[in-house]
Structure formats: C-alpha cells, structure tokens
Chains A and B, each alone.
Chain A
Amino acid sequence: MIAVAERRAHIDLLEAYRATGDRAARDRLVEELMPLVRSLARRYAGRGEPLEDLVQVGAIGLIKAIDRFDLDRGVELSTYAVPTIVGEIRRHFRDRSWGVHVPRRLKELALRVSRLVDDLAAELGRAPTVAELAEAADVEEDDVIEALETARAHTPASLSTPVEASGELTLIDLIGEDEAGYAALERGSVVRTGLEGLEERERRIIVLRFLKGLSQSQIAAELGISQMHVSRLLRRALAAMHGRLDEGDGMPV
C-alpha cells in the first residue's frame, strides 16, 4: 500500500497529463513508478534476458497502463499497472521463446557466420553474399541462411551493454545525441506518438539509419560493432516503436 501523499501526487500528475497532455507530468509519473517496474522485472531475471531489457519492456507496459488508467476505477494506479507490466514482460519472453530451443550446432554456426560477415566485409569492402559465407564456413547455403536468421533472432544486446572491459562505456555512449535529427524524422508524421514513446537511445539508432542514411555496415564501422549487432539493434528499436503504436501482436522486427 502506498502512502496517501504519494497516491495524491500520482493522481495530481495523472490529472495534469489528462487535462493538458503534459508529457512532463507523465514522465514524472513513469519515474515515480519505475521502482515497481524494476521490482517486477527482477522476478523474471536469470531466464536468458538481460535485466535492463526486462526493465525497458516493463516500462512500456507502465506507459500503456498510465494511458489506459481510469481515475474513477477506485483502485490505485500501481495496482492497476502490475498486470500490464507483467504482461509486457511475458510477451517479450514469448516473442523470443523460439530462440531458446535452437540446437547448439545452429547456435555455434550462427556465431561463426556472424563473425564471418564482418571478416569478409572487411576483406571484400562490401557485405558478403550467402554463397561467399557458405564457402568460407564450409557449409551449405541453406545452413548459412538458417544461421543468419538465428543470429538475428538471438537476444539483441542491450544498448546499455558495456563495449569495453571496464564496463563504463556503453553502446549508447558511442551513438551520441541527435535531437535535431530526431525532430526532422518525426516532423509531419502520423506516427508521432510511436516515435515519442521510444527511449532516447532507441531514437538515436533510428536517426543514424533512417535520417542520416548510414548503412548498417557504416553504422557498424562507426560504432565499432558488428553488422549483425546493428541489425538486431534496428529491429529492437523498430519493434519498440511498434509496441507504442499497436498493442496487438505484430510481427517483431
């Protein structure tokens, strides 16, 4: 049970958000309730998904709950939000569950092929073809196609994943700020709500690819990460965008 003063503050913020569409009020409310999201996310930790990713998808559930919450329900927002947050976390696991059952042989090949993509790209000056990968890996082309799909579907690394041994520098630090670019991408869009709902770091990788026009390979080179990693991050960012736009079960990207 939350304190009366805290509950009153939540109601005030909700009313401000509803009355004026004040995003700052909603952001503040999200901030206030993030400990609840973290607490719920921790229950699902250790099942193959980074805790930070679970917190992120849980936050999406929280925002959905805030947007749907009816002040006249007679329940606390935090109580109402729990099933939505948990549902979002479970959905995250469900969407990725097929990857859990990938045979070890295929996982190993996926890892090997991912590395070969970068090695051959450096050697050829362009991304390799499936045939070139098959020859380099000494496997059939069908195996390469399956391995590439496995690599893409593999749990995407969080943008908060450290990229150096000290753990202090994360991928998002490398991506940098580009608010102007984001604004330009967003302008005139009927899916503004979807983009606005993205986390700052998710917006940035979208901007690099779709506003600045960098190819996956160029982004990979600029950030010092693999092309497959960029591919996964793009999917993650676009999937997060869809999560805002459509509460149904769309195809994950």
Chain B
Amino acid sequence: MTETILLTVPSGPRGAGVVALVLGGLGSRLDLPVDRIDELTLAAATLAPSVRGDELELEAEVLDDRLVLRLGPLEDGTGADATLRRVVDALVDRVTGIRRADHEWLELELVRGVAG
C-alpha cells in the first residue's frame, strides 16, 4: 500500500523541526534504523538552503519497502552541484533529479534493508 504525505514548511529552523518529526514517523513505519532516518533528515536539511523562495515543499511516499522523498522547488543547478550531490548521495540510497512546474526538484530514496 502506498501512502503519500504532502508538506509545506518554512525553509527555516521551525520547518526543520517539523520535517525531522515527520520523517522520523515515516521511517519508523518502515522500521528503518534510527541512523538511516537521521541521515535522510540530514539530506533534506542539506538541500533546504537551496530551495527557491521561503517555503520548502516535501512529498513523502511510503511504499512497502522504501521511503521516497521529493523535495523542492530548488534553485537551478542544485542537482549538478558536485559537492552537494556527493553529500546527499552518501546519505540516502538513491538521488534523482526531476522537474516540476519548470523547477528543479530532487527525489531521495531510502530502501529498507539496504545498509546505510
């Protein structure tokens, strides 16, 4: 069963806390170890300063064996930033660049059972 959660938060400190709580809850449903949930949260926080405007939009999809997080809209070129990608790639199992409403987004995926 797939469950999708949409969230719009300020791209500041208060937003960060909300995102961490939501991802904690979703990671818990998948029975992910806490260090992997932590790294997904860290990946989201790492990308947050690259958000266009003041609001961070998150779309979290909980599948049977994985958690998919789509995050945006991002400044153009965010996904191509070598260091940023290196950091985010290390924190989750898969990172894919996508486009929505003519803006750049990133899709992050954590798979249950894959070592962090």
Q: Would A238 and B35 be within 8 Å (CB), given that A149-B20, A190-B82, A251-B48 are in contact? A: no
Pair B82/A235 contact, Cβ less than 8 Å: no
Within the complex, what minimum Cβ distance (angstroms) separates B103 from chain A? 18
Categorize the interface residue count of chain A: 35 or more
Within the complex, what minimum Cβ distance (angstroms) separates B112 from chain A? 10
**B72-116 toward A: CB 8 Å interface, digit per residue (1/0)?**
000001000111101100100000000000000000000000001
Does B8 count as interface, using CB distance less than 8 angstroms?
no
Does A79 count as interface, using CB distance less than 8 angstroms?
no
Pair B34/A152 contact, Cβ less than 8 Å: no
Q: Which of A128, A149, A238 contacts B33 (CB 8 A)?
A: A128
Does A30 count as interface, using CB distance less than 8 angstroms?
no
**A136-148 toward B: CB 8 Å interface, digit per residue (1/0)?**
0000011011101
Does A45 count as interface, using CB distance less than 8 angstroms?
no
Looking at the complex, which of A1-9, A169-177, A181-189 is the stretch in contact with chain B?
A181-189
Pair B90/A213 contact, Cβ less than 8 Å: yes
> 5 shortest A-B CB distances, which residue pairs?
A250-B49, A251-B48, A145-B24, A127-B33, A130-B28
Q: Which of A146, A210, A215, A249 contacts B86 (CB 8 A)?
A: A210
Cα distance A250–B52 in the bound complex, in angstroms: 11
Cα distance A133–B28 in the bound complex, in angstroms: 11
Closest to B116 in A: A215
Pair A250/B11 contact, Cβ less than 8 Å: yes
Does A200 count as interface, using CB distance less than 8 angstroms?
no
Q: Which DSSP category, helix, strand, loop or mixed, fits chain A's interface? A: helix
Q: Would A252 and B16 be within 8 Å (CB), given that A191-B83, A235-B45 are in contact? A: yes
Pair B82/A129 contact, Cβ less than 8 Å: no
Residues of chain A lying within 8 A (CB to CB) of residue B45: 235, 238, 251-253
Q: Which of A95, A127, A188, A194 contacts B35 (CB 8 A)?
A: A127
Does A84 count as interface, using CB distance less than 8 angstroms?
no
Does A160 count as interface, using CB distance less than 8 angstroms?
no
Closest to A116 in B: B34
Within the complex, what minimum Cβ distance (angstroms) separates A41 from chain B? 21
Interface CB pairs A-B, < 8 A, 17? A117-B34, A128-B34, A130-B28, A130-B34, A145-B25, A148-B24, A148-B34, A152-B38, A189-B81, A189-B82, A206-B87, A216-B39, A217-B35, A235-B42, A238-B87, A250-B12, A253-B46
Q: Would A215 and B35 be within 8 Å (CB), given that A238-B87, A251-B48 are in contact? A: yes
Closest to B85 in A: A189
Pair B21/A145 contact, Cβ less than 8 Å: yes
Closest to A239 in B: B45
**B38-69 toward A: CB 8 Å interface, digit per residue (1/0)?**
11011001101100000010000000000000
Residues of chain A lying within 8 A (CB to CB) of residue B34: 117, 127-130, 133, 148
Looking at the complex, which of A14-22, A55-63, A65-73, A240-248 is the stretch in contact with chain B?
A240-248
Interface residues of A in 211-253 (CB under 8 A from B): 213, 215-217, 227, 231, 234-235, 238, 242, 245-246, 248-253
Pair A251/B49 contact, Cβ less than 8 Å: yes
Residues of chain B lying within 8 A (CB to CB) of residue A249: 11-12
Pair A242/B49 contact, Cβ less than 8 Å: yes
Pair B25/A251 contact, Cβ less than 8 Å: no
